[in-house]
Amino acid sequence: MQLLDGKLLSAQIKGEIAAEVAQIKAEGGKTPHLVAILVGNAGRSETYVASKMKSCEEVGMHSTLIRFEDDVTEEELLAKVQAVNENPDMDGLIVQLPLPPHINPDRVMEAIAPAKDVDGFHPINIGRMAKGLPAYVSATPQGILEMLKRYQIETSGKHCVVVGRSQIVGLPMSILMQRNDYPGNCTVTLTHSKTQNLAEICRSADILIAALGRPGFIKADMVKEGAVVIDVGLEKVADPTKKSGFALRGDVDFDAVAPKAGYITPVPGGVGLMTICSLMQNTVKAARREVY
Ligand code: GUN
């Protein structure tokens, strides 16, 4: 078993981004600038956004966090999105999800200018990605592709099973893994909560991508010997053996599955760190007008 080490890769990639940002500045270009909008402080959003902002600063990029209370109206939020769209100093914009129930996330995502949509959530970017046209690709799937590439994992002709059909991970991941390119050319099965014989399907996966948000769901008997196991889950669970009283767990029962896997991502220290790198890479592309 080999660990797919997100900590190691993300440190490498951050170094590459920092060098690129330094070069842009040396050539008199503008410093890439990421803007994040955070509404309220639900769940882990606060921590996620803080680490995105911190990572930008570490590589020499600008970052701005715009906060709203939970009771912000959709109109106020849309007005802010519009203001960022029109601000030439701001290159990339993300609105952290989930949003409070009175706000329609689709309306908000569609309001973001596709050229600043570094999360790749706008229907235009999703459509362009699906067609294989230049587009911003959702950060987590892009981070997983980067991981497969850097570990030179063979994907062509393999059976890739994606567990979870979320708009931001499962669905784009399934599209990317089937495309005629590396890493891709897989035969893809996209599974979800209504899938029958899920364990059997997972057992037939050469590459298993778990993105369903249920800690420890993937057990050893659901994994083929030698499979590549990618764990997108990240949940806080009670753990009395820890000083803090909790631990972070992925969707894969790591201790049971790791001995069977060919490659596996740890949680934490796996996919999550790659997601932030992809977001920064997209922001550099936005500053350079590479996609649009
Ligand atoms: N919530 C969970 N993951 C993400 C992400 O990648 N981007 C945004 N905007 N919200 C999220």
User: Is the ipTM beyond the 0.90 threshold?
Assistant: yes
12 in catalytic set = no
Name the pTM for this structure: 0.96
Q: Decide if 140 contacts 275 (C-beta within 8 A).
A: yes
| Fold match between domain 28-117 and domain 139-272 | yes
Q: Using DSSP, state whether 90 is helix, strand or coil.
A: coil
For 236-257, what is each residue's pLDDT tens digit?
899 999 999 999 999 999 999 9
In CATH, which of 3.40.640.10, 3.40.50.1860, 3.40.47.10, 3.40.50.720 is domain 139-272?
3.40.50.720
23 in catalytic set = no
Amino acid identity at 201 = I
Q: Which fold has domain 28-117?
A: Rossmann fold (3.40.50)
- Which residue in the list 5, 80, 91, 96 is annotated as catalytic? 96
How many other CB atoms sit within 10 Å of the CB of residue 238?
A: 8
Q: Decide if 185 contacts 176 (C-beta within 8 A).
A: no
Q: Separation of 140 CA from ligand 1 center, angstroms?
A: 9
Residue 168 Cβ < 6 Å to ligand 1 = yes
Mutate to test the pocket of ligand 1, among 63, 81, 97, 126 (most ligand atoms within 8 A of CB): 97
Q: Which residues pair with 249 in a beta bridge?
A: 235
From the alpha carbon of 139, which atom of ligand 1 is closest? 6
Whether 166 has a binding-site annotation, put simply, is: yes
Whether 41 shows a pLDDT value over 90: the answer reads no
Residue 286 Cβ < 6 Å to ligand 1 = no
Query: In terms of Cα–Cα distance, which of 187, 179, 192, 97 is closest to 145?
Result: 179
Strands across the sheet containing 187-191:
2-3, 263-264, 228-231, 207-210, 159-163, 187-191
DSSP string, 11-74: HHHHHHHHHHHHHHHHTTPPPPEEEEEEETT-TTHHHHHHHHHHHHHHTT-EEEEEEE-TT--H
Q: 33-39 and 187-191: which strand pairing?
A: unpaired
For 56-94, what is each residue's pLDDT tens digit?
999 999 999 999 999 999 999 999 999 999 999 999 999
Average pLDDT over residues 48-59: 96
How many other CB atoms sit within 10 Å of the CB of residue 110?
A: 16
Amino acid identity at 77 = L
Residue 94 Cβ < 6 Å to ligand 1 = yes
How many other CB atoms sit within 10 Å of the CB of residue 203?
A: 16
Q: In the chain, where are the structural domains located?
A: 28-117, 139-272
119 in catalytic set = yes
Q: Separation of 63 CA from ligand 1 center, angstroms?
A: 16
DSSP E strands: which ranges in the chain? 2-3, 33-39, 62-68, 92-95, 159-163, 187-191, 207-210, 228-231, 235-238, 246-249, 263-264
